[in-house]
Amino acid sequence: MAAITNMQIGKQGLTSNFIESLKNHFKNHQNVKISVLRNAVPDNSSKKEKVKEYSEKILLELGNKYTSRVIGFTINLKKWRKEVR
């Protein structure tokens, strides 16, 4: 089982296809690093807040076995064996 894989959020933002692709990545990987590109954040909104918002939406879609950490414009996701409280 490979340890980490990389993905990107582009100008379309979070789509159902992106979430499905993310779930497929977790079948073979324990960690996923997601880079949020500049096109994914509208100019009139706070860029850091939008990245945090993406992280929260991803965790809602994936469930309780996942945690995230936001560093700059990168979201690091980790899958745990047990549910995280």
Given a contact cutoff of 8 angstroms between Cβ atoms, the answer to whether 30 and 4 are in contact is yes
Distance of CA 36 to the CA centre of its chain: 9
State pLDDT tens for residues 1-38.
567 889 999 888 899 999 999 999 998 899 999 999 98
Predicted confidence (pLDDT) per residue in 35-64, tens digit:
999 888 877 668 889 899 999 999 999 989
Residue 10, CA distances (Å) to 14, 29, 51 in order: 8, 22, 12
Q: What is the model's pLDDT at position 44?
A: 66
**Would you say how long the chain is, in residues?**
85
Q: Where exactly are the structural domains of the chain? A: 2-79
**4 vs 7, 16, 33, 39, 67, CA distance in Å?**
10, 22, 7, 24, 14
Question: What CATH number belongs to 2-79?
Answer: 3.30.110.60
Q: Name the more confident of 39 and 70.
A: 70
